[in-house]
Chain A
């Protein structure tokens, strides 16, 4: 049975000359777990907003064709009735929370639609989302992952048939991301909900989704079962979507003749086990040489800091932290949401003062210094680039710090920064109106305008699709030459593995591990206690051979090859994939 039937849907936003959605015809079956993929601006979010009637009823524009959800025509049924059929969780889910307490927010929609049992409905939605016991909490007490679950509960309380989620895990650490997807799987399997996610993380698609829909330029190219879809490596990469690393690795092996051509590409580590094998006489190499510890760039001495809380005792972030960062290091700070990464950075730039202890930058105590006077030494780029834009054009934003310091050649320096970050065409635009990747580049340019000796970056790749992320990674690699010491706080383990030469793992206000990537990811204890997750390709290597430490696909290809297949092996694999 189809829950969604769409015929010849064409839509363009008011005032836009080009249609965003072009003649879409598709059916979605009840009980499906569908992933929608496609590059930025291909119309994924717009498509999803046609499913709950926001388009065309709330957002006008040029709409033609029919969309029917659970048998109701979305152009004729009111938004309230549709909300009970198809629920939508936004990408910026924190703006979706309207009420101050958890239960209030979860039951708010039910109350508005005059359901007498609104509280019970809210409670049962909270239970389904794993938020039992949190119902009396205030929303600002929740972590990022819990806030997302609450946004989901608020939608779920109306008991819709269909749940639509726009990039549910973009801002979450792997622990929280797993939790969201496990909740979704349960909703799908136990409660029979149809689930549609817009998702860039193909590893999660491989693990959880049943079908994949590829969108390109406002059109649907195909809808296929997940495994078949992810094996279309070339086609996906053309649309800036990166299949799981194991799939790419196998695909590249096939191309170079290292794997037999009739083997099905694996999409998960489990499947990979049967198709890869260690090359004979490969030595496990330890590729990273530890950097020489020379001059200390930043020193934390017995730092303690806590935050005021609305109620009760202050929340302690660090007590007696001691840490040295050396000149020239490329450091990655990792750890779950709320581990204190941002706090550490804010202390370094002087925005937060530790309650006890001292911080030294190049031997100078910064306790008595104003943040303004530190900006030549250290600079910070926020997680949310919007907060960096204080002028009405990015050119003005980049030159601001130089202008107020009367630095000569400000104009030339600004031009060269614009050029370096490929922003020259956009220089007169307001930063807020740029796309995600452009915004991020602009914020990096602002951050290094004063040519600081230490650069701090808070989650530089969060909320970006994979193609934009690759682009930012390239920019970060360029930066290595300009700024001597760089510290990045991130959840993005691919970035960590490809970029950092020292990794510091924070958990519960303590440094629980500190070292090269081999020392961190090669140490099972560290990985399990901190909840960090190495890239999939590393896991693949480990599963095949305990001693292998490969962090990138290139490194993987150096030590592994396709397994030579016997006929029965192939049959086994085919059987597995079909199952």
Chain B
């Protein structure tokens, strides 16, 4: 009884906006000292192109399993935040779980499970590769990498600025929601009917909270817009020299080559094994 109460308290605690904000920050910036974060973004983007695309077209179980194991290791190395992994888990599970039930319902057997497993491995590998890249790298490095490949400056600025603003937005949202909580009068949620009403109430509040959120944010960003002008953002976006300086901070090191080499070797070995089998 006590444990279950503790658990439910714990789950509720996890769902607070404060927790979400913390996880977003943790995800973006909390792991800058990992091996993955230290790699050159350009190398990682190439790496991602392989592991994000090739699994879709491969149907060999051994090869997929090999790739899967590799991306599990890189995800672990990137120290990805708990929430992201949790969402990943739910995503993949709902995919297979849903399919598995359907297969069993229509009288499927082992021969049906293998293709299912292949599909699952494909989805899982591609998602974990994305998770490694997008949460292992800090947004600025990622933006620089994209810029090197010719993505427009505005896109890369948007990525890093969005990450800068997200915690601010969430904090603002949290404060507005708190105002609703302190002054509102939600329906009693002790009965089942009450619980549904309570849920509906919560959703209504979240929707209503957007109006003050937008106005408050608009008020804040007036200063930011002026500052961007003073700090020469507009000037920089058309100046080639600035781009060059920004990109010169990236450097391919031995670590990067080692990382590519190991990944390559690993894939080669799995391909070899799969041809032997």
Residues of A within 8 A of B (CB): 52, 54, 58-59, 79-80, 83, 88, 90, 92, 95-96, 98-100, 104, 108-109, 111-114, 116, 118, 138, 140, 154, 308, 310-311, 349, 351, 353, 370-372, 375, 379-380, 382, 384, 386-390, 392, 400-401, 404-405, 430, 432, 446, 449-450
- Beyond A58-B229, A109-B231, A112-B232, is A390–B241 a contact (Cβ under 8 Å)? no
Can you name 16 A-B pairs with beta carbons within 8 Å?
A83-B230, A90-B227, A92-B220, A92-B223, A95-B223, A118-B245, A138-B29, A310-B25, A382-B179, A387-B179, A390-B180, A390-B183, A390-B209, A401-B183, A432-B215, A432-B216
Contact count band on B: 35 or more
Residue B264 CB within 8 A of the other chain: no
- Tell me how far the C-beta of A355 lies from the nearest C-beta in chain B, rounded to whole angstroms: 10
B208 near A111 with CB under 8 A, answer: no
A99-B164, A386-B216, A387-B175 known; A154+B185 contact, CB < 8 A = no
Kindly provide the distance from the CB of A431 to the nearest chain B CB, expressed in whole angstroms.
Answer: 9
Interface residues of B (CB under 8 A from A): 13, 18-19, 22, 25-26, 28-30, 138-140, 160-161, 163-164, 167, 172, 175-176, 178-186, 208-209, 211-212, 215-216, 219-221, 223-224, 226-233, 235-236, 239, 241-242, 245-246
B228 and A114 contacting across the interface, CB-CB below 8 Å: no
B183 to chain A, nearest CB (A): 4
Q: Is the CB of A404 within 8 A of B185?
A: yes
Known: A96-B227, A387-B172. 15 other contacts (CB 8 A): A58-B229, A96-B223, A100-B28, A113-B235, A308-B19, A349-B182, A351-B182, A370-B186, A371-B178, A372-B182, A375-B183, A387-B175, A387-B212, A430-B215, A432-B215
A100 to B227, CA, bound (A): 15
CA distance A310 to B181 in the complex (A): 26
CB <8 Å contact, A405 and B180: no
B226: which A residues are within 8 A, CB to CB? 54, 58-59, 90
Indicate if the CB atoms of A116 and B245 lie closer than 8 Å.
yes
Chain B residues, CB < 8 A from A390: 176, 179-180, 183, 208-209, 211-212
List the B side residues contacting A108 at CB < 8 Å: 231
Most buried by A among B13, B228, B232: B232
Find A109's partner among B139, B167, B175, B232 (CB 8 Å cutoff): B232
Interface residues of B, dominant DSSP: helix
- Min distance, Cβ B140 to any Cβ of chain A, angstroms: 7
A308/B235 in contact, CB under 8 A? no
Q: Which residues of B contact A353 (CB under 8 A)?
A: 13
Instruction: Collect the chain B residues with CB atoms within 8 Å of residue A386's CB.
Output: 212, 216, 219
Do A79 and B176 touch across chains, with their CB atoms under 8 A apart? Answer: no
Kindly list chain A residues whose C-beta atoms are within 8 Å of the C-beta of B26: 310-311
CA distance A310 to B32 in the complex (A): 11
A109 touches B230 (CB 8 A): yes
Contact B229 A95 (CB under 8 A): no
Q: Which residues of A sit under 8 angstroms from B212, Cβ to Cβ?
A: 386-387, 389-390
Q: Select which of B25, B230, B245 is within 8 A of A88 by beta carbon.
A: B230
Q: How far is the CB of A357 from chain B (nearest CB, A)?
A: 15
Pair A52/B230 contact, Cβ less than 8 Å:
yes
**Given A308-B19, A390-B212, are A405 and B232 neighbors across the interface (CB < 8 Å)?**
no
Inter-chain contact A392/B164, CB cutoff 8 Å: no
- Residues in A neighbouring B181, C-beta threshold 8 A: 351, 370-372
Inter-chain contacts of A118 with B (CB < 8 A): 245
